Amino acid sequence: MGKDEDEILHHVVARYLSGARLSPALKGQVLYIAEGRPARDVVERTGLSYHTVRCRRARLYRTLKVNGAGGVMAELLAISLEILAHQDRDVRTVA
C-alpha cells in the first residue's frame, strides 16, 4: 500500500472510531480489518496467538455493535463514500 492510500485509510478509520473508547490493541485490529487482513495474517505479522487475535476481534465487534469484519468494512465503506460525495460537491460548486 502506498503512502497516499495509507493516509486515506488512517483518516477513514480515525473518522469511524471517533468517539469510540477502544484500547490501542483494538484500534489496531480495526486498521488490520480495513486493510483486508484476515486473523491468520495478523498472527504472522504481530506474533500474537491466533486465540488472542480472535478474542480481540470478538471484543471489538461487541463494542462497535457489528456482526463481524463485514460490518466494520461496510461502515468504513459508507464513510469513504460520504467523503467522496462531499468532495464531488465541492468540485461541482467550483466548476
Write the pLDDT tens digit of every residue in 2-25: 778 888 899 999 999 998 899 999
Q: How far apart are CA 39 and CA 45, in angstroms?
A: 10
**Enclosing domain of residue 59:** 3-94
Percentage of the chain beyond pLDDT 90 is: 76
Write the pLDDT tens digit of every residue in 19-40: 889 999 999 999 999 999 999 9
Q: Look up the CATH number of the domain holding residue 85.
A: 1.10.10
Number of separate domains in the chain: 1
Q: How far apart are CA 80 and CA 78, in angstroms?
A: 5
Q: Is residue 72 packed enough to be buried (19+ CB in 10 Å), middle (13-18) or exposed (0-12)?
A: buried
Q: Which residue has the cell 485490529?
A: 29
> Residue 35 is placed in which grid cell?
486493510
